[in-house]
Amino acid sequence: MQIAVVGSGYVGLVASACFAELGNEVICVDNDSSKLAALQRGEVPIHERFLPELIARHRGQRLFFSGSLERAVRASQVIFIAVGTPSRNNGECDLSFVEGVSREIGRAMNGRKIVVEKSTVPVCTSDWIRKIMLLNGAPRSSFDVASNPEFLREGSAVTDFLYPDRIVIGADSDTCAGVLRKLYEPLICRTYARQKDAVPAPDDATTIPQLIVTSAKSAELIKHASNAFLAMKISFINAIANICEAVGANIEEVCEGIGSDRRIGKRFLAPGIGYGGSCFPKDLKAFRSVAGEAGYDFRLLDEVIRINDEQCQRFLRKVRSALWTLKGKRIAVLGLAFKGGTDDIRESPAVELVRALVRELAEVVAYDPAATERAREVLADDAVTFGDNPYDVASDADALLILTDWEEFAALDLERLRNELKYPIVIDGRNLYSPELMSELGYMYFSVGRPDAMPKERDVTRLKKAG
């Protein structure tokens, strides 16, 4: 099919590359001229596995980048809206970009089109898109508006797109639903997966994704409700971890017992320093606002947000407890992205913790495999320096903090790391290591929801000498 994708952010760029991978001709539209020029040169602005390979494979053949929305609309059968929907101060979604794009699409119509919401938007946005297009000259019979929410995780967005658990199509006509189903047919029937040069399937990929066809309003609600539920699981397990710390239980054992129940499942039962990123914080506030406008006081979401906000402060208290005072201490930080596998630092609890450490006059030296350059920009006014590798930042540090769950951090040479540190103190906000192992290796090890680990007896003399 001929497809236009409006917006080249995380969702738009991944969708554009993947739709091209499925054999469609795709025009990705953006109004940022410098970003467009970089994409046209083959430069990929985000850290996302397999995305550079797909763009290199299809750029200039099935994937094109343009600054003209009008030309893209006229050349396409299906137009996906994947522009930003940032939060306003009151938590509501700012839909001005969606409105602006809808207005331009309405003015550029030259035949029958399907306009699809790909951005995360409040329920009833599809109605507003339809109204805006009608007000700007689009004939009522010349277009359909549909909702096709994305369920992409940063760091695995390409494989999430190509090997989905489910595909949700919110369409108010059978014809519209049929066109979108045909678009996704290579994924629904798994013909794509059998291609010789297909992106490899992840280990946990489902055999056949479920196709769910709903009304547009139901699809809009599915996206917000999904993110709210996942955020709730994270806040819930963090609350349980806090109870574990208070009574001396082990959160890993509790998670095994809870997650073994098929009604609950093990995914997202990972305690830590809280969720972040561009989706959960924004979407929970927006969903709470939508519920309020509908006349429902969704107080459960208030508590999910409160627990998450408190989790960073609890971890900071853990750091203070391990080091007594922070002023003048050299603290090594591993991880700045909100999660492993991405360079996204939006709403990152790691960045917030670094800022808190700086406010307490600690000397922070940080490393992240992908997010360092983005972090330099947002931490430019803070007293933070950056290292080239984990051992570099650990050198002569009073303590090491693990704040992002990068696989690289779970595979460190712990003997070398201990020799680099001034004191063998590790405060792990992602529970990457076994307390028993860290104790055997001579560390003072603090994690989330598990008992603290102290060095074995033979290491006490060495610690005293170091002090």
- Please state, in angstroms and rounded to a whole number, the distance separating the CA atoms of residues 230 and 252: 19
Token pair belonging to 278 = 């561009």
CATH code given to domain 312-466: 3.40.50.720
Strands 384-386 and 78-81, bridge-based pairing = unpaired
**How much is the pTM?**
0.90
The β-bridge relationship of strands 210-214 and 25-29 is unpaired
Question: Residue 463: its pLDDT value, please?
Answer: 52
Cα separations (Å) of 356 from 10, 312, 362?
Answer: 28, 10, 9
CB 422 within 8 A of CB 396: yes
Q: Is 431 left (phi over 0), alpha (psi -120 to 50) or beta?
A: left
DSSP letters spanning 316-350: HHHHHHHHS--TT-EEEEE--SSSTT----TT-HH
How far is 83 from 120, CA to CA, in rounded Å? 9
pLDDT at 89: 86
Domain ranges for the chain? 2-214, 224-307, 312-466
Per-residue model confidence as pLDDT tens for the chain (467 residues): 999 999 999 999 999 999 999 999 999 999 999 999 999 999 999 999 999 999 999 999 999 999 999 999 999 999 999 999 998 888 889 999 999 999 999 999 999 999 999 988 999 999 999 999 999 999 999 999 999 999 999 999 999 999 999 999 999 999 999 999 999 999 999 999 999 999 999 987 777 899 999 999 999 999 999 999 999 999 999 999 999 999 999 999 999 999 999 999 998 899 999 999 988 999 999 999 999 999 999 999 999 999 999 999 999 999 999 999 999 999 999 999 999 999 999 999 999 999 999 999 999 999 999 999 999 999 987 789 999 999 999 999 999 999 999 999 999 999 999 999 999 999 999 999 999 999 999 999 999 999 999 998 655 555 544 44
CA 228/CA 296 separation, integer angstroms: 15
Which residues, other chains included, contact 162 with Cβ-Cβ below 8 Å and sequence gap of 6+? Answer: 18, 21, 187, 192, 193, 198, 199, 201
Q: Find the length of the chain.
A: 467
Give percent helix, percent strand, percent coil of the chain, each to the nearest 5.
45, 15, 40
pLDDT at position 457? 63
CA 424, 427, 428, 434 torsion-angle sign: positive
Determine the angle formed by the axes of helices 251-259 and 216-247, rounding to 10 degrees: 140
Homologous superfamily assigned to 2-214:
NAD(P)-binding Rossmann-like Domain (3.40.50.720)
86 secondary structure, DSSP code: P
Contact criterion met (CB below 8 Å) for 422 and 439 = no
pLDDT value for 24: 98
CB neighbour burial string for 10-22, b if at least 16 within 10 angstroms, e if fewer: bbbbbbbbbbbbb
In whole angstroms, give the CA distance from residue 147 to residue 125. 9
Q: Which amino acid is located at 438 in the chain?
A: M
Task: Decide whether 2-214 matches 312-466 in CATH topology.
Answer: yes
- CATH topology for 224-307? N-(1-d-carboxylethyl)-l-norvaline Dehydrogenase; domain 2 (1.10.1040)
Please identify every residue annotated as catalytic. 279
For 9, the token pair is 């952010």
